[in-house]
Amino acid sequence: MNIDSITNGFVIDHITAGRGMRIYELLGLDNLDCSVAIIKNVTSKKLGKKDIIKVDADIEIDFDVIGYVDPGITINIIRNCERVDKLSVELPEKLTNVIKCKNPRCITTTEQEINHVFKLTDRENGVYRCMYCETKAK
């Protein structure tokens, strides 16, 4: 397998095996007009197996989405073919329009203009609750 190096962009590394496609979809990477590589089930000393996403474009990414899906991820920022920064993500305190409330009585169900906002209520177990009705997500 031959995957080109990145000139300017980022590498999302240490993704738990099988979660790469979910991150790809939530970040909307399918809408980009640049090289995007999703590498699944790569051998990893740390995780056993992992997924990797490489994006050859200098774009803004939503760290909250990445932290919500898999808080153990690292992001390598690439400029001129060299890593210039390495970032770690964790569970965000608040999520806006990443997940939707499942409660049919919640105001977000009837009022389409209202953002779906969830707050982290249990960091240890990764539990989020709707800001409006307190319904548990996940």
Closest CA to 116 of 59, 63, 64, 71: 64
Cβ contacts of 134 within 8 Å, gap of 6 or more: none
Say if residue 138's pLDDT is above 80: no
- pTM score: 0.81
Q: Which domains does the chain have, with CATH numbers?
A: 9-88 (3.30.70.140), 94-130 (no CATH)
Across the chain, what does the average pLDDT equal?
A: 90
pLDDT digits over 57-73, tens only?
888 888 888 999 888 89
Q: What is the pLDDT of residues 29-46, one digit of tens each?
A: 988 888 899 999 888 887
Q: Nearest 5°: phi and psi at 26?
A: -65, -30
Q: Six-digit token pair at 94?
A: 């608040």
